[in-house]
Structures are given as structure tokens and as C-alpha cells.
């Protein structure tokens, strides 16, 4: 059984809702889903995963949340994520998704196999976005 580690930050709950859909898909897909807010996650947890999903809304000015998520992502090396399937997801509001494009490029730079373009949704997740998160979880478990 594949261990799918899902790490997220969410201030007002939108990205958390997405994270839960990823976890549901991963479980329904036959994987072991480990869902953690970033404050409870560790690099070792990432290292021990078969596949990964990270979630964070657009914050600051098109950047990751600065106090928890950014330091966590910055602490990861190619040895932790290289070669692993990785889904990215998050909510935004007024921007055009630049934070996700930058995040994808950054994770690819560490050698992660990033799934698609990352799942983004404006504010409260649309049903379409939640379905995409669920399917992402299933793919990561497969």
C-alpha cells in the first residue's frame, strides 16, 4: 500500500477542504493517506512517503504563507522529494495563479514529478476543484 503524505497550510479553511478531498481520493484509491497541517509535519514524514501532495493558498504577494509553509518547503531537499509524484493545490482570490506556477517550478527544480499544473480554485473550492483533488489523490495512490 502506498503512503501518500498530504501537507497543507490553510488560514480560512479553503485549502484545508481541498486537502481533505485529496486524502479521501488517496484512501479510496487504496493508499494510506496521512493528512497533516504543516505545523504538525516533518521532513522525515516527507522522506518516508511514496507520493506527496502539498497545499497552500496564494499569500503575501503571490507567495507561499511565510511563517510555516515557506520555511517547510525551503527545508526540503532533492533527497526528500526527488523522483516522487507530487500534487500541488491551493486557493487564491484576486491573482492569476502565479504563486502556483512558481511553486511548481521550484518543486521541479528539486526533481519532484509534479502532477499537471497544480489545482487552483478561487476562494471556497468549486465542486470541479474538489473533484480534481479527489482524482489527484487516487492517482497518487495508484
Ligand X SMILES: Cc1cc2nc3c(=O)[nH]c(=O)nc-3n(C[C@H](O)[C@H](O)[C@H](O)COP(=O)(O)O)c2cc1C
The residues, any chain, with a CB within 8 Å of residue 41's CB and separated by 6 or more, are 5, 7, 72
Nearer to ligand X, 35 or 141 (CB): 35
| In the complex, minimum distance from the CB of residue 12 to ligand X, in angstroms, rounded to a whole number | 3
Nearer to ligand X, 29 or 125 (CB): 125
CB 4 within 8 A of CB 31: yes
User: How far apart, in whole angstroms, are the C-alpha atoms of residue 24 and residue 8?
Assistant: 15
Which residue's CB comes closest to ligand X?
95
| In the complex, minimum distance from the CB of residue 20 to ligand X, in angstroms, rounded to a whole number | 12
Give the number of other CB atoms < 10 A from CB of residue 54: 30
Binding stretches for ligand X (CB under 6 A) = 10-15, 57-62, 91-95, 123
Nearer to ligand X, 58 or 132 (CB): 58
| In the complex, minimum distance from the CB of residue 82 to ligand X, in angstroms, rounded to a whole number | 27
Nearer to ligand X, 60 or 71 (CB): 60
| In the complex, minimum distance from the CB of residue 36 to ligand X, in angstroms, rounded to a whole number | 15
User: How far apart, in whole angstroms, are the C-alpha atoms of residue 75 and residue 73?
Assistant: 5
What kind and span of H or E run contains 6?
strand 3-8
Amino acid at each position: 500500500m502506498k503512503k501518500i503524505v498530504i501537507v497543507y497550510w490553510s488560514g480560512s479553511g479553503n485549502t484545508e477542504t481541498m486537502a481533505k478531498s485529496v486524502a479521501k481520493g488517496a484512501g479510496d484509491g487504496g493508499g494510506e493517506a496521512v493528512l497533516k497541517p504543516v505545523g504538525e509535519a516533518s521532513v522525515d514524514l516527507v522522506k518516508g512517503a511514496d507520493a506527496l501532495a502539498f497545499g497552500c493558498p496564494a499569500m503575501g504577494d503571490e507567495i507561499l504563507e511565510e511563517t510555516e509553509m515557506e520555511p517547510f518547503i525551503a527545508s526540503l531537499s532533492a533527497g526528500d522529494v526527488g523522483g516522487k509524484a507530487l500534487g500541488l493545490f491551493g486557493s487564491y482570490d484576486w491573482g492569476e495563479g502565479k504563486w502556483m506556477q512558481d511553486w511548481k517550478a521550484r518543486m521541479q527544480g528539486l526533481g519532484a514529478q509534479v502532477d499537471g499544473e497544480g489545482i487552483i480554485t478561487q476562494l471556497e473550492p468549486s465542486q470541479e476543484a474538489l473533484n480534481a483533488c479527489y482524482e489527484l489523490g487516487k492517482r497518487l495512490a495508484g
